[in-house]
Every structure is written in structure tokens, then in C-alpha cells.
Amino acid sequence: MNNVYQEGKDFAKSYILPYTELTDKESKFPEETFKALDKKGFLKLLVPEEYGGFGKGLEEHAQACLAFSETCSTTALCYMMHNVAVMCILTHGSDELKRKIFTDIVENGKFMALAYSEIGSGVHFYKPEISTEVIGDNTTFNGKKSMVTSGTYASYYLVLAPAVAEGTLNNWVFPLETEGLSFEPSNWQGLGMRGNSSCPMKIENVTLDSTYRIGAEGSGGDQVFNVVAPFFITGLAAVYSGTSMHMFEISSNHAMDRKYPDGSSLAHIETIQIHIGDIYKNAAAAKAMTLEAARAGASGEADALAKILAARVVASEAAIECGRLAMRVGGGKAYNKGLPTERLLRDAYAGQVMAPSADILTVWLGKVLTDQMIP
């Protein structure tokens, strides 16, 4: 893949757009799209070339998520989490684990998801409450994860759990077929992002040996803040930047297509012009910040973390503001669901509360900018 963003845009027209409305109306996971993501190679975007992947990094991750979200926010969100999980395996997984999972992705079209959030810890997903019992090389887990995106559809789930040393974490891979693992798929009633199949995961006496642990004992915390955070937060910035750009596209097209009896269009009204200009400014700024943050992160620049945090907050807030203005441009047609504006607005509201929430990230940004530790 040489131009991931453009290839992603082309892919979205053929393999995401046909399912977008159904995904939202029926809260249906975009299963057909994920089959196409496999066939067109996007599932292996970050998988190293030596395992049959494309070996791309943070910039291409952001570009793909952005391209997909300009058509469907839900699909982009689910895809983004797969990439984050891939990076954990790539950076910390054993050779055996890499070989097993990357082969399944490249040859069998399998994909991954994150099972980090819990009801008790909320947006502080890096503070898991599930219990672990270590006996020899085996660890037994009990507890419950909440809001697991791609629940029941992904083949592998990354699970954060307490490590042996107090205050430390391990990051584990739970295969879908693991005994004692079950889901409650009917629980997801999201305002937006309705097709992401987010549901609780029940973990009842699940026992795994150390080959399913990602990295050395106690390395989970390092993975959260050095791998998960940059790829997850940048990915979310891309998802909500794309949502804003989608709102601009819908609003501007509607304004030009909506004709009055005298032949003039809605776009000739000065107030509408101002609204569309503001939508574009917000969307374009969020997109530019996201791509710059991804570039800085990929280059290892000193201010990369600050840029990534800022981009995510700006993108989340921009999507909500763009949605507010897009509803004004769309008027009754938008309110009555004649345009997809209402769906995009609902999707946008997920951005401010999805862990780490915009509030938490704003605090983190302030700490980073004043040379303090996070969290």
C-alpha cells in the first residue's frame, strides 16, 4: 500500500458505504466489511512484512482510520482497535505469539479487539479489578469486562489484569474459544456507534499459560502508556476527525442541492455559508492536527505525546460542534433523518466519553506540558 488514505477512501465507497445505514439502524456489526478488510489487506496493515503484512506504522494507521470514518465511524472505530492490539503483539509479544496471531490475521482473516474497560474502573481502564490466581505457569482469571468492542466477532481479545507484583499489570491475549469466556451481546444500547457490538465479557475461571501473556511479567503498564495510548488515542482522533469531515461533505452537498422555486440554492444564504465555513474549519483543523500528531509520533519527536493528546481532544470536541452546525444546515431534513447528519451527531457524542475521556486527556495534556507524570 503506497497511499493508504486514498486506498482507504476507495475501499470505503465499495465495501463500507453499502452497509453503513444498516449498521446503525439494526445495531449490526459490519461483518461483511471486515471480510473485505481481510481480502483487501487492511487487517494486515501493521503486521510486519516478514509475517506477510505491510509493515506500516502510526501514520498509516491514522490515515486508514480517517479514511474509513469519513464514511462510517463505527467501522473505523472497530478497525482502529484491531490495529492497536496488533501493535501490542508486535512490540511485546513472543516470537511464538507473533507467529500464531499474525498467521491467523494474514492467512485466515482473523482480527483482534480490546477488552480493557470494567464497570468499576470506568474510563480508568488501566486500573483493572478482575482477579488472578497464579499456579505455576498457569493463571486463572475471574471477573467481567464491560463495553468490549467487536464482542463475539473478533477472534482475539486483549485483557488487562493485575500482575504478581502489587500495582503492576499484565496484558493477555484471550482467544474467542477460550473455555470460561462468554459475552452478553444484547446489552449494547448505544446512543451512537451502534454497530460496534460493544458488550460485557464474562470471565469465569479462565485459565491460560504464560504463552498467552504479552511481554514480560508486569510489563502491561508499559504497554498501556507506550503502545496502546499513542495508537489508541491517535486512532480515536482520526475517527472523530473523519466524522467531522463527513459532516462537512453531507452539509455542503445538501446546501448546494437544496433548490428553491427561483432556482437558487440553500448555499446562497449567507448564514448557511457561515455554518458550512465553520464546519470545514473545525473539521480541517482536527484532521490536520491528527495527521501531524501521527507524523510526530512516528518520528519520535519530543512533543509527540502532547500533539497526540491535543489532537484527540480537539477532534472529539470538533465532531460535536460540527454536528450541531450540520443540523442547522440540514434543518428539518436532518432532524427527520432524511440526511445521515443525525447518525453522525450521535456517533460524535461517543468521543467525549470514550476512555480515556476528553476530560482525562485534557488533564494529561496539562501534565505533559508542565513536565509532570501521567496519569
CATH number at residue 263: 1.20.140.10
Residue type, 100: K
Q: Are residues 199 and 276 in the same domain?
A: no
Backbone angles phi, psi at 369, to 5 degrees: -70, -15
Q: Which among 195, 216, 237 is the end of a domain?
A: 216
- Give strand pairing partners of 142: 131
CB 159 within 8 A of CB 175: no
Domain endpoint, select from 216, 236, 270: 216
Instruction: Kindly state whether residues 232 and 287 are assigned to the same domain.
Output: yes
**203 in any annotated domain:** yes
Per-residue model confidence (pLDDT) at position 188: 81
Structure confidence at residue 123 (pLDDT): 67
- All cell numbers assigned to 95: 516470537
Q: For the chain, list residues with pLDDT below 50.
A: none
Instruction: Please tell me the predicted confidence (pLDDT) of residue 186.
Output: 77
What pLDDT shows up at residue 122?
Answer: 67
Establish if 319 belongs to a structural domain: yes
Residue 187: domain span: 115-216
244 lies in the same domain as 322: yes
Quick check: is 375 in a domain? Answer: no
Q: Same domain for 141 and 44?
A: no
Task: State whether 162 and 230 are in the same domain.
Answer: no
What CATH code is carried by the domain that includes residue 67?
Answer: 1.10.540.10
What does the angle CA 25 – CA 30 – CA 32 come to, to the nearest 5 degrees?
125
Same domain, 80 and 51: yes
Asked if residue 360 and residue 333 are part of one domain, the reply reads yes
Same domain as 74, residue 151: no
Is the bond into 18 cis (omega within 30 degrees of 0)?
Answer: no
- Residue 374 belongs to some domain of the structure: no
Question: Are 194 and 137 within one domain?
Answer: yes
Question: Following CA atoms 341, 239, 159, 188 in sequence, which dihedral angle do they give, to the nearest 10 degrees?
Answer: 0
Which residue, chain included where needed, has cell 465507497? Answer: 13
Which backbone phi and psi does 51 adopt, to 5 degrees?
A: -105, 5
Q: How many Å apart are CA 326 and CA 341, to the nearest integer?
A: 7
Domain for residue 309, yes or no? yes
Q: Residue 211 has what pLDDT?
A: 98
Residues 282 and 337 in one domain: yes
In a domain, 291, yes or no: yes
Same domain, 212 and 290: no
CA 64/CA 43 separation, integer angstroms: 11
The count of structural domains within the chain is 3
The enclosing domain of 147 has a CATH number of 2.40.110.10
217: left (phi over 0), alpha (psi -120 to 50) or beta: beta
Question: 58 and 137: one domain?
Answer: no
| Boundary residue ending a domain (110, 136, 164) | 110
